[in-house]
Structure formats: structure tokens, C-alpha cells
Amino acid sequence: MKKTLIVLKTEFINTVTRRSFLLTLILVPLLPGLILGGISLFGGDQITDLPGPSTQPQPDFLTSEGYIDQAGIITQTPEWLEEGRLIQFESEAQANEAVRLGQISGFFVIQPDYLETGSIRYISQDFNPMEGVNTTWLINSVIQLNLFGGDQAQFERFHNPILVEYIDQAPGETEEFVDMSNPIAFYIPYGMTMLFYILIVTSASLMMNSVAKEKENRVMEILVSSIKPRELLTGKILGLGLVGLLQLVVWLGSALVMLQLGGQTLQIPPDAQLSTGILVWGIVFFVLGYLVYATLMAGVGALVGSIKEASQATFIIILPILIPVMMVGVIINRPNATLPMIMSLIPFTAPNTIMTRLAITPVPLWQLLTAVGGMAITIFILIRAVSGMFRAQLLLTGKKFSLGLFFKALRGKHPDFQEP
């Protein structure tokens, strides 16, 4: 136990004092920070979410804009449009004056031949890099509504012709879904899948690099003559797990700080906000997912001759956790269908499948507990197998790494790994 703590401490210090790690730690939050700063500078001043129908486009940087309707087509505006957001002007002179006074950031001129040509001009005083990306959706929605003769219901059905409600006939189970018509609510489970994938894979990759470096530096034999392989593996997993946690805290913390410094707030609808329960399960499945993949990566690291050799193997090893990312649409649409349920019970796909589902709907407790149990057993088996690899890799010096060798070693089937 004492030696495990020594390995943990050394692994943590060695990793966090590495220049490449420090650069990644600082640059990753810095780049989005600069982008956000740029948006603040050139775009609006607040990120918000507007209540309204699902036809409402993405949240935007709110500023007032104007329009001059030379075609005479606008008689109504959507119910959800905030007052003062889109102001009608009679002439370009009036609109230009409003721009000059800073009342609006720019204005649209709907040309008299709009119905034939679709031609609209946008006039603003300053160059804005977000122009065209963020400003046209509003006038677009207003014009669409008026082209439907102002019928809000038809307008809504045109954009969302069907809203399918899937009902599974499992007895005793009722499903509560987050309203997916809200874009932010849709992106939360999607983001959850990606976040778990990135967090687990980056943390586990640190592990593979660390073990492969030890092999490259030829210190493994000295280590296994001083400490039990299992203690060594556990110390490394915990030390690098803490590094991953530090990375997570710094990145999330800087994201919050930057948002506050920029005077911006992200308003998430109440039904899409993450509950404490999800956060608790999030921590459980992050830790378990990290342990599964970090142990597998340690095995790869122990068998490869160099870090370069590990790249092809890494892809195969992380493939299972990539599957929920590739199938995120299926999981979001039917989170409690058979396929997402099976993926939740397989230890290698469980972490991000379950977290995606939890962001949408309650997951039955038995599935959560089965997944936790299955992952715990897998971790136990993997740590035993990979500890054996730490000893046996000493026999493999000079042998080329192959996935066949890895999987044989994992099952203890390779002749060189047969310990009595």
C-alpha cells in the first residue's frame, strides 16, 4: 500500500510537471476563451435561450436589428419574438440614423421584388465577423411566418411535420423524457456522450504513454523487482486518474471563469438541467470507465516496444467506447429501447451510453447496478491480467507488438505468459 502511494505521488508529479502537459492544460481552455472573447468583441453581449416554438432557431447573440419592408409582406411577427428585437423602419435614412445612434446593429431591406427574387440586403455600420451566420435566422423566421399567411400552427407543422412518441410496452415502466424540441435539451445528452468519450480516452491514454515510456526507458525490470506489479499498476492508475481529474477541474473551472469574465450567462431550461443524481452517477461511471480503459491501455503500453507502435492498437482498444458516440442519435431518439439497454450492460460501452440515457430519461435502477457490477468485475479481471503482462513483457523485448499477442496475453494464452 505504501509503495502504491509512492508510485501515485511520483506519477502525478512527473506528469503535471511535464511541459507538454502544462501546455495542454493551459491551451485547451485558452483557445475557446479567445474565441469567446472574439465573439463578445464582435458579436452580442449575452448568450441566452428564448422560450418559443421549436421552429425557433439556435440561440443567438441578442442585439436589436431593424428592417424596411419594401415588398409589403410582413403583417405579423412570431409570438415568441421579444419586443424591440426587430424594429420596423419606414426609410433607410431612419434606419441609418438608428444604427449611428447604436439603437440597432444593422437593418434588413426587403426588396420590392422579394417574392420574385428573394432579394434582401443587410446594412450595418461596422464589420462583424458573425454577420450572416447569426443574424439572418430572425428575419428568416418572420418572413416564413408571413408567407404562411400568419398561421402559427401551420408554420410550426411545416418545420416539425411529425413528433413521434415511442411507447415501449414494458409493464410497470413509465418513461419521462426531457423535451427534445428544445435545442439545448437536445445538445446536453449529445454533449454528455462526447464529454465522457473524451475524458475517458484522454485520461486512459496518459496511462498508456506512461507505461510505454517505462518500457522504452527500460526501467520496468527494476520496478517489478521492487514492487508487486499490481501495486505498481494501481499506483499508476490512481496517480493518472488524479491528473485527469485535475485537468477536468481546470478546464471546467476556466470555462466558468471565462463565461463570467465575458459577462455571459448560459441559461438552460429547467427540465434540461442536470440533476444531482446524474452528477453522482456521472462520477461513478467516469471512475469505472476510466479504470476499465486505463487498465487496457496499461496492457498495451506494457507490450509495445515504443509509443509509436501503440497507435494502431489504441484505436481497436477504444473502439467500444466510440460505438455510443457513433450511435448517439439512436440512443437519444429511443433511450430505453433494447439496443441502448444492451449497450448499457456491456462494461466497455456502458459509461457513455448510460450517461447519455440519464440525460434524457430515468434509467431503471437494476440496469445501473448491473452495469456498475459488470464493470467492477471487468476491472478486477483486467487488473489481474495486465499485472501479469508487466512481468511477462520482460520476455518480449524485441518482439513486435500485435493485437493477437495482446488479446492472447490478456487471456493468459500466449506461451510466454504461462506462469504456474
Partner 1 sequence: MSTITVNQVTKRFGETLAVDQLSFDVQPGEIFGLLGPNGAGKTTCIRMILDIFQPDSGDISVMGGPMSDDKKNRIGYLPEERGLYQDIPLDRCLTFLAALKGMPEKSSSPKLNEYLERFDLYDVRDKKVKELSKGMQQKAQLISTLVHDPELVIIDEPFTALDPVNTEMVKDILQQKRDEGTAIIMSTHQMNQVEELCDRILLIDHGHRVLYGTLQEIQSQFASRDILVKPLTHLPEAIDGVASIRVHNGRHLLSLEEHVEPNQVLKNLINTGTEIAAFEIAVPPLNEIFIQVVRKQSRSQNG
Q: List interacting residues with partner 1 (CB under 8 A).
A: 3, 6-7, 10, 13-14, 18, 213-214, 217-219, 221-228, 391, 394-395, 397, 415-416, 418-420
Closer residue to partner 1 in complex, CB, 329/415: 415
In the complex with partner 1, the residue whose CB is nearer, 100 or 400, is: 400
The answer to whether 348 and 292 are in contact (CB under 8 A) is yes
**162 or 218: whose CB is closer to partner 1?**
218
C-beta of 226: minimal distance to partner 1 in Å?
A: 4
Alpha carbon 303 to chain centroid distance?
31
Element (H, E) at 57: none
Taking the complex as a whole, the smallest distance from the CB of residue 48 to partner 1 amounts, in Å, to 47
> What whole-number distance in Å separates Cα of residue 406 and Cα of residue 14?
27
Q: Closest distance between partner 1 and the C-beta of residue 124, in Å?
A: 53
Name residue 136's amino acid: T
6 or 323: CB nearest partner 1: 6
Q: Is there a contact between 87 and 101 (Cβ–Cβ < 8 Å)?
A: no
| Nearest distance, CB of residue 249 and partner 1, angstroms | 24
The DSSP bridge pattern shows strands 120-124 and 106-110 to be antiparallel
Distance separating alpha carbons of residues 363 and 366, to the nearest angstrom: 9
Q: What is the largest CA-CA distance in the chain?
A: 92
Q: Tell which residue, 199, 335, 379, has the closest CA to residue 343.
A: 335
Using only the alpha carbons of the chain, give its radius of gyration.
Answer: 28
Q: Which is nearer to partner 1, 13 or 35 (CB)?
A: 13
Nearer to partner 1, 224 or 323 (CB): 224
Q: How far is the CB of 379 from partner 1 (least distance, A)?
A: 24
Question: 69 by DSSP, 3-state: which?
Answer: strand
- The three three-digit cell numbers of residue 163, written as one number: 413528433
**Cα–Cα distance for residue pair 259/251, rounded to 1 Å:** 12
Q: Three cell numbers at 131?
A: 454577420
DSSP state of 47: B
Residue 227 beta carbon to partner 1: minimum distance, rounded to whole angstroms: 5
Q: Please report how close the Cβ of residue 401 comes to partner 1 at its closest, in angstroms.
A: 17
Instruction: Provide CB contacts within 8 A for 416, sequence distance 6+.
Output: 392, 395, 396
d(CA 152, CA 158): 10
Smallest distance, partner 1 to C-beta of residue 28, A: 21
Considering beta carbons, is residue 36 or 396 the nearer one to partner 1? 396
- Of the pair 225, 311, the CB lying nearest partner 1 is at 225
